[in-house]
Structure 1
Amino acid sequence: MITQTTRPLGILGLEPGAELTPESPGVALHPSTLGFPVISEKVTGGWAEDVSRGDPALESACIAAARRLVERGAVAISSECGFFIRHQAAVAKSVNVPVVLSSLLLLPTLLRQLPPPAKVAVLTFDSTRCTEDLLGIDDPAEQSRIVIGGIEGSKYWHDEQKRPPPACDVGTLEKDVTACVARVRAAHPDIAMILFECTGFPRVASAIRRSTKLPVYDITTLARMTYASLV
């Protein structure tokens, strides 16, 4: 029986159905990552490629999955893909618990932590799809402090768009993310903070913190903060 102290975080899962995969520590669905219970409900039709490109037909499936999670006792709702932020408002209106579908919700707060002209690097699964309308920043001066870098074309990018996707090769993912960080820092030496949009990147967050000596935020940061405020 779910009690107040064991109420889980609900996660909107991608196709083909989120599972607790022992080979993937670092992601929110792995039992060792967050330190509190999580449950998931698949967003029907929510393949990574369709979510990242912003298929509007997924909105009703997101709402249905969120409602199922609340019925199962979820204390808040997060997601397995940062691009679900496109459905943040609709899902938040549909349930009576906090909804935090993407780490991009942290971006306005992170910019305020830094003095101008220091910048925040947003590292994403696909920079061509991480458009300005997803960032929640309207001020042009603040927009100029955001640097977007992606790993499109990488092995992980290709693998995640397969149906079904294979198990993550963490070593290769670390190399791809490290290379992306190097590119954006070479072009923007004033980057002072990193935000991972992609929910797969927390697997390598510790390695990136060690190599860059910069703060690195991701969906697990937001999930922990949200859960800690509720239970």
Structure 2
Amino acid sequence: MGCCASAATSAASAAVQLPSSLVSYFPSIEDFLKNSKVCFLELPSAVAYALQVSVAVVGICRVKHRVVAGLTPEKCQSGEPLTGDLEAAFRKGITDLHAKGACVITGDTGFMMWYQAMARESTKLPVILSSLACLPTITCSYSKEEQVAIFTTSVKTLERMEGLLRAECGVSIHDTRYVFVGIDEIPGFESIALGQHAESRTMEAGLCQKAAEVLEQHPKVRAFLLECNELPRYADALRRATGRPVFDAMKLCDFYIDSLLDNPRFGIKDWDDALNKKSAEFDFGQSLSAATQLITKPVLLARDVALQVYAASMQHAVSMMVRSRRQGIKLGVVRLDYHYEPAPGDVDHPGSYAYEVHYQMVPGLTFELCQSGKMTQEVEVELLKAIGALESKGVSVITGDCGFMMWYQELVRTSTRLPVIMSSLATLPAITSSFHKGEQVAIFTANGKSLLPMEELIKAECAVDLKDERYVFVGCEDIPGFEAVALGEKVDVRKVTPGMVKKAQDVLRDHPKVRAFLMECTELPPYSDAVRHATGLPVFDAITACDFYISSHLDNVKMAVDLSNPFWLV
């Protein structure tokens, strides 16, 4: 974490007692500090920012850093090939992070995207060196006339990366759906460019003003993406100022880490206990707000805030539920005219989410009609009524309870300004870009042949070519007990789980280059935890996709600490 962080850590160890809420997780503060797993490649001149990032994400996962000597911001921005000792140092940085137990590797500047391919060659872990990796996923949720504004350090530098971004992220800088916005002229940014701390309030005001100008000039902008890694701490202010979802490097890291975690909302007994627990020791957001006022005890306070944030995250995603309720963020689910008893983890089970969910059934929209991709005039009217009903309930994101609703993605998007994700396949570009081109993603579907008629649609909507050798499609129709899905009956999850695990293990045996799983069918998330445990690989599904979009609307409680204050640099 750099010499500054080490100094703070040493002082804190001597001064701070481990909060009781963490005792069950760590026997001592030394053990907590030692076990602090996203891992960051770090520029040698970016120690201050690295400290910011490490504290910012400590509430979600443990963090390790590795400085690459000689890899300066100027070098990254230039995109010059790494050769000789610098290439060796970069590759060693990747392998060192892997050896430290990393699950995901990222960097502390988006310009490391120049070296994404090299990084992926050096590890089997997912590598995400730029938040632009999630841009196709964001774009897919809006109509072709709507736009996403991308805040970046330098538009000119991104223009030089045009070919790279197209190859790595499937993003064309000339796509009219993107509005690229340079922030280099915002007051306070000159400090960041020099590797110094920016005055937070000045930067925040400048960014909010810039966002207002963007919305005035481009009224069809529906979301913001902060490409520059120094900007996530201003994301909350932008959300409040614009009323738009804001995506950034932190949200993307959370998405990958989420794929590695058990879903605490089902299958874990103590979820309700954690949710209902009354604790005077920590109230979400309260301690963080107090932290910014009590800077007279710098080391003690800094370490205590970090510990409190970590404790909050360990309480089984209660934070997300509290924040979503406090901010009024809700999910809307379009339902088929299809009646069955959903299992916990199913998209149709409200207990699958850590936020409020509203359902709206569409009369006449049967599974058979949806699978065929056809639409009658009567059902279309009912579908649009359902979208209106969900909007009236104040939902922030709209999804569906069947992946075949992808046939209606464009229809739904043109009838609402809200983001629409009718299939978890929308997240596939972000997943694929994190792995080497010789590695694969296994996609589990209810029926192995069911996606074939959607080939052109999926390519157009999700930028995914089903014929790409990087994808292994796996049908689950032959798993004992899973036939209940096709019959519209209640699924016995306990009966199906062993077959689902065996299917995953067979896939790894036959396709040893598979590095992740994506559960495309909306009735497959109940098995994600079992597959994670059996394979040790990340598992993405409809729930992690919804979490990603919902999180873009939520404040990041960990950013309430003003990291620009000098007490962090003791």
TM over 0.5: yes
- Using the TM superposition, give the Cα deviation of residue 31 of structure 1 relative to its aligned residue in structure 2, in angstroms: 4.9
Query: What residue number does 1:48 align with?
Result: 73
Structure number with bigger Rg: 2
Query: What residue number does 1:120 align with?
Result: 148
Query: What residue number does 1:29 align with?
Result: 54
Which whole-Å deviations, capped at 9, do the CAs of 1:20-69 have from their partners, x for residues lacking one?
877x4xxx322565422111111222322332232323872432211111
Classify 1:20/1:176 alpha carbon distance in 2 versus 1 (closer, same or farther; 3 Å).
Answer: closer
| CA–CA distance in structure 2, aligned partners of residues 39 and 190 of structure 1 | 40
4+ residue runs over 3 A deviation: 17-22, 31-34, 137-140, 153-157
Contact persistence 1:7–1:73 (CA under 8 A): no
- Using the TM superposition, give the Cα deviation of residue 172 of structure 1 relative to its aligned residue in structure 2, in angstroms: 1.9
Which has the larger displacement, 37-46 or 97-106?
37-46
Identity, in percent, stands at 26
- Structure 1 residue corresponding to 2:170, chosen from 133, 137, 140: 137
**3-state SS, counterpart of residue 129 of structure 1:** helix
Q: Does 1:161 align with 2:186?
A: no
Q: Does 1:92 align with 2:120?
A: yes
**3-state SS, counterpart of residue 71 of structure 2:** coil
Contact persistence 1:82–1:101 (CA under 8 A): yes
Which has the larger displacement, 167-176 or 185-194?
167-176
- Structure 1 residue corresponding to 2:214, chosen from 184, 188, 204: 184
Partner amino acid, structure 1, of 2:175: Q
| CA–CA distance in structure 1, aligned partners of residues 259 and 226 of structure 2 | 22
Q: Give the gaps of 5 or more residues in structure 1.
A: none
Partner amino acid, structure 2, of 1:150: G
- Structure 1 residue corresponding to 2:41, chosen from 12, 15, 28: 12
Query: What residue number does 2:201 align with?
Result: 171
Classify 1:88/1:223 alpha carbon distance in 2 versus 1 (closer, same or farther; 3 Å).
Answer: same
Classify 1:84/1:207 alpha carbon distance in 2 versus 1 (closer, same or farther; 3 Å).
Answer: same
Provide the alpha-carbon RMSD of the alignment: 2.7
- Using the TM superposition, give the Cα deviation of residue 15 of structure 1 relative to its aligned residue in structure 2, in angstroms: 1.9
Classify 1:36/1:138 alpha carbon distance in 2 versus 1 (closer, same or farther; 3 Å).
Answer: closer
Contact persistence 1:47–1:161 (CA under 8 A): no
Classify 1:138/1:159 alpha carbon distance in 2 versus 1 (closer, same or farther; 3 Å).
Answer: closer
Contact persistence 1:31–1:37 (CA under 8 A): no
Contact persistence 1:17–1:42 (CA under 8 A): no
| CA–CA distance in structure 2, aligned partners of residues 192 and 225 of structure 1 | 20
Q: Does 1:209 align with 2:239?
A: yes
| CA–CA distance in structure 2, aligned partners of residues 190 and 97 of structure 1 | 37
Contact persistence 1:196–1:217 (CA under 8 A): yes
| CA–CA distance in structure 1, aligned partners of residues 109 and 155 of structure 2 | 14
Q: Does 1:148 align with 2:176?
A: no
Contact persistence 2:151–2:180 (CA under 8 A): yes
**3-state SS, counterpart of residue 29 of structure 1:** helix
Contact persistence 2:41–2:106 (CA under 8 A): yes
Q: Give the gaps of 5 or more residues in structure 2.
A: 1-25, 262-570
- Using the TM superposition, give the Cα deviation of residue 196 of structure 1 relative to its aligned residue in structure 2, in angstroms: 0.5
Contact persistence 1:7–1:75 (CA under 8 A): no
* TM-score normalised by L of structure 1: 0.84
Which has the larger displacement, 206-215 or 76-85?
76-85
Which residues of 2 match residues 56-71 of structure 1 at below 5 A?
56-57=81-82, 60=87, 61-71=89-99
| CA–CA distance in structure 1, aligned partners of residues 252 and 60 of structure 2 | 14
* TM-score normalised by L of structure 2: 0.36
Query: What residue number does 1:228 align with?
Result: 258
Q: RCO greater where, 1 or 2, for CA within 8 Å and sep 6 or more? A: 1
**3-state SS, counterpart of residue 89 of structure 1:** helix
Which whole-Å deviations, capped at 9, do the CAs of 1:127-161 have from their partners, x for residues lacking one?
22122332633669x81101100111345442233
Classify 1:146/1:99 alpha carbon distance in 2 versus 1 (closer, same or farther; 3 Å).
Answer: same
Q: Does 1:73 align with 2:101?
A: yes
Contact persistence 2:38–2:105 (CA under 8 A): yes
Query: What residue number does 1:105 align with?
Result: 133
**3-state SS, counterpart of residue 143 of structure 1:** coil
